[in-house]
Structure 1
Amino acid sequence: MNQDLSVPEHPSVLVVEDESGTSGMLVMALRFLGFDAHLVPTGAETSTEVRRRQPDAVLLDLAPPGLDGTEARGRLRTAGIDTPVVFLSARTAVEDTCHALAVCADDYATRPFDLTEVSARIRAPIRPSPPHRP
């Protein structure tokens, strides 16, 4: 039984980031790395865009304007949307990372970030799990 455990060839990712310089560069870099990346400038638009685009993952700034990243993630969960969310933040304290992971994040990347690492963090939660064998 050979099961394909890879991610989609061009996984889609919704990038929720308000800093114009960072967001444009991040979307371009993710596209270069094989993602179908789309930008959403505010946390408040996250739920609507996730429903509309149905991405494989969301790369969510922890502090976008209009709605905090944890609140945006909470709205997704309340709506029954289980799309994996990777937070991107300048907060590097262990407490911040642990809190985000405990509350609602599937993963967490800090700024300054390495694009290869961010790419791997986005791909990890969308990779299917191998079947459980007793």
Structure 2
Amino acid sequence: MDLDTRTGTPQASTEAKLLVVDDEPNIRDLLASSLRFAGFEVVTATDGNQALRTIESDDPDLIVLDVMLPDMDGFTVARRVRERDNATPILFLTARDDMDDKIQGLTVGGDDYVTKPFGLEEVVARIRAILRRTHAVDEGDDGTLRVADLILDEDAHEVHRAGVEVELSPTEFKLLRYLMINAGRVVSKTQILDHVWEYDWSGDAAIVESYISYLRRKVDQIEALDGTTVVPLIQTRRGVGYMLREPKGE
């Protein structure tokens, strides 16, 4: 039990603190009430600027962010959050079931996407899945993973390639870790979805392709400290999946 800092009385512990950002009062209040009932602490914001201020002051564990806001869209909010080196997970809410919107949301640093109208149970499930994969990355394995000149330090949550530090989002970090612990073997898109996203994406594997592309740009398309270009480690097996493998001869 925690103590209410205002009254000194015991209160139930919560799973995590969430920020719900939506300019529609009915949706915002319904989401906030439902998430509190599910065991979360919830703060709210009605527009992008208020959301950015609340993120700074309240330090939420996850942001539920509507795409359509009166002052700036949710993608701009997410971009500004990431520009501040803030890796807080983001779940987008949108009225459009558009793949381009989904890809844009993930590109600017989102972790998942829910289309309106949505079921409250689905939102809670996705929030818990995001929190599991972003706050429990090590999953019982300690130490450092190495493949060729790629090093992933789970304790420090750092990645280095050829001596250069690589900045990854929590989801990118977990995807890279999954590839590294399976180095030398092909993993399918379904396996990646199960182990990295921990949620049924209803057969939509485009999210995997997008994140593999992000990882390649960050891990396989950089210069080493000596100015040379690194050798790509992430390989595609068309129709099967992906594999992380040391270059031949090493």
TM-score tier after normalising by the smaller chain length: 0.7 to 0.9
Who is 2:59 aligned against?
54
**Offset at residue 43 of structure 1 (A):** 1.0
Kindly report which structure 2 residues correspond to 1:18-33, keeping only aligned pairs within 5 A, or say none: 18-33=23-38
**Offset at residue 85 of structure 1 (A):** 0.4
Who is 1:37 aligned against?
42
Larger Rg, first or second structure (1 or 2): 2
Who is 1:3 aligned against?
none
**Offset at residue 67 of structure 1 (A):** 1.4
| 1:102 paired to 2:107 | yes
Alignment RMSD, CA only?
A: 1.7
Q: Note the alpha carbon deviations across 1:88-112, whole angstroms, 9 max, x for none.
A: 0001022222221233211100101
The one of the two structures with greater contact order (alpha-carbon pairs below 8 A, sep at least 6) is 1
User: Which SS does the other structure have where 2:118 is aligned?
Assistant: coil
Identity of aligned residues (%): 35
TM-score after normalising by structure 2 = 0.48
Unaligned runs of 5+ in 1: 1-7
Who is 2:122 aligned against?
117
Unaligned runs of 5+ in 2: 1-12, 146-180, 182-250
Aligned residues: 127
TM superposition outliers: structure 1 runs of 4+ over 4 Å: none
Letter in 1 for 2:21: V
Q: Note the alpha carbon deviations across 1:16-50, whole angstroms, 9 max, x for none.
A: 00101111111001111111111100011222111
Letter in 1 for 2:83: T
Partners of 1:71 and 1:58 in 2: CA distance: 14
User: Which SS does the other structure have where 1:30 is aligned?
Assistant: helix
**Larger deviation: 122-131 or 72-81?**
122-131
TM-score after normalising by structure 1 = 0.87
| 1:68 paired to 2:73 | yes
